[in-house]
Amino acid sequence: MNRRPDLYNVYLLEILALFADKGISIQTAATTNTTEGEMKNLMDLCSLLLPIDALLDHSDFHPDHSPSSLLTTRFRNMWFICVLFNFTPSPQRASCMTEWHIGALSRIAEKTPPIVLEEAYDFITTDLEFNPVLREDYLEKVRCIVPWNPSCLHARPRQRPCTRPL
């Protein structure tokens, strides 16, 4: 990879897209009551942080300097998924986050471009409310969970169709 710096950006875009797809599939699986492989899926998602960190570690790669809007969107989606699954520092941090992953996430934060664009038209509606990486039915399900009752995650899902475009 060191020999082809022109491919850094393409590779980063692909890994970030894979991260978002994996995050969406975990949410879909959780809402359809298939919880058996959830922990393994979360570990797979965590492990994707390491190649992103390794790519951003190149001293001649600065995606935070004049990023494209596509790259900004993909970084934003990656961070939304990290927050959704508690990968970031929070009172109930995901158990799959080891010291390596925590260090990698901090280094990714350093090279993350600004996730809010000034020129984004209707940011709240387009990029937040109708963001396909945040499934409404999953968020509704997570909302019912209170910190003292984590077993609620495996409760029967609400019979409500997803209203977001996927």
1 vs 133, beta carbon nearer another protein: 133
Which of 146, 156, 165, 166 touches another protein (CB under 8 A)? 146
Among 29, 117, 157, 162, binds another protein (CB under 8 A): 117
Cα–Cα dist 165/129, whole Å:
11
- What own/partner pairs with CB < 8 Å and gap ≥ 24 does 63-69 have? 63/8, 63/9, 63/12, 63/111, 63/113, 64/111, 64/112, 64/113, 64/114, 67/113, 69/117, 69/120
- Contact mark string toward another protein, 63..102, x via CB under 8 A: -------------x--xx-xxx---xxxxx----------
Q: Which lies closer to another protein via its Cβ, residue 14 or residue 122?
A: 122
Q: Are 77 and 15 in contact (CB under 8 A)?
A: no
Residue 4 vs 91, nearer CB to another protein: 91
Does 145 engage in binding with another protein (CB under 8 A)? yes
User: By CB under 8 A, is residue 140 in contact with another protein?
Assistant: yes
Question: Using CB under 8 A, which of 123, 154, 158, 160 touches another protein?
Answer: 123
**Binding to another protein by residue 124, rule CB under 8 A?**
yes
Least distance (Å) between residue 4 CB and another protein = 28
Whether 52 contacts 12, CB under 8 Å: yes
Residue whose entry in the numeric block shows the structure tokens 């359809």: 32
Of 163, 130, 159, 133, residue with least CA distance to 31: 159
Rounded to whole angstroms, how far apart are CA atoms 130 and 121?
A: 13
Which parts of this chain interact with another protein (CB under 8 A)? 76, 79-80, 82-84, 88-92, 105-106, 109-110, 112, 114-118, 120-125, 128-129, 131, 134, 136, 139-140, 142-143, 145-147
